Amino acid sequence: MKIGLGLPGNIAGSTGNDIVEWARAGEQRGFDALAATDRFAYPSHGCFTQLAAAAAVTTRPELMSNIILGPLYPTGVLQKLAADLASLSGGRFVAGIGVGGRPDDFVETGAAMEGRGARLDATLQEFADVTTGGTSTRGGTAITGQSHPIPVVLGGTVAATWRRVVAYADGWTAGSYRDYDAAGRIAEDLRRRWTEAGRAGTPLLIACCNVALRERERGRDHVGSYYAAHPGFVDRVVDDLVTTAREARDTVRRFGDLGFDSVNFHAAVPDLDQVERLADAVLG
């Protein structure tokens, strides 16, 4: 099972140096992936910015957006950003994409929340030309230095998500808190739909959670602030924060038992020693 490290650029007050040092330390300690989240209405670093910084100082880990808020980007811009990151990293980019649900992010970008699902469908249809290592659909020309295939996983827990995963993607990435029963049911349902659609193999399954080892209160403060725009959701995410090594190991074990391929632990405090604590807990 792959273990991913969420970069700290999503934390208010984090610096570029924090992102770079976490990326270097994550690679040195043997994490399989470096991940970043995407928000616009929050004092954080952008997903693509974080991953580009990580690409410049690492050579081995996958670089995953977990997740890009797809409808906030014009399709051509998203194609270009993804293709450039895949080129910059030598083909290590994994595109996690979701529909988005926070109204403030849409306000900040001037994008409409209404119709975002249909816009995401249209984006994914065109995005496939780039993710398979090809060219831009609209212009028909190469849009980056070196083309690489880009695996795509989709976030979400509504019915349209399962249709999109089977039609356009390589798999599914779970939400920001651990609901093992729901994750197991969804995974089983996706595998069934995948097979019925005639897709080869099985869908890629990625889990994630927030972590602040031995820093419970600081971690809860960050998670509460980051998810404050989700009043019905924030308490559950805050309560789900991973704060002990035993919890971290149990998270890996339980998602592994459900057949998930990887788990991303997203930073809730920016201190560099969190990388060492988490590595000691889940990598040995």
What share of the chain has pLDDT > 70, as a percent?
A: 96
Structural domain range at position 87: 2-282
Number of separate domains in the chain: 1
What share of the chain has pLDDT > 90, as a percent?
A: 85
pLDDT at 139: 65
Lowest mean pLDDT among 6-10, 130-134, 143-147: 130-134
Burial class (CB in 10 A: 0-12, 13-18, 19+), 54: buried
Residue 169 CB contacts under 8 Å (≥ 6 apart), including other chains: 124, 152, 153, 154, 203
pLDDT at 138 over 70: no
The model's pLDDT over 99-114, given as tens digits with 9 standing for 90+, comes to 998 999 999 999 999 9
CA distance 265 to 5: 5
Integer CA distances (angstroms), 220 to 72, 174, 187, 232, in order: 27, 20, 28, 16
Tell me how far the alpha carbon of residue 13 is from its chain's centroid: 21
Confidence band for 126, pLDDT divided at 50, 70 and 90: confident
Q: Domain with 63 in it: what CATH number?
A: 3.20.20.30
pLDDT at 140: 66
Confidence band for 127, pLDDT divided at 50, 70 and 90: confident
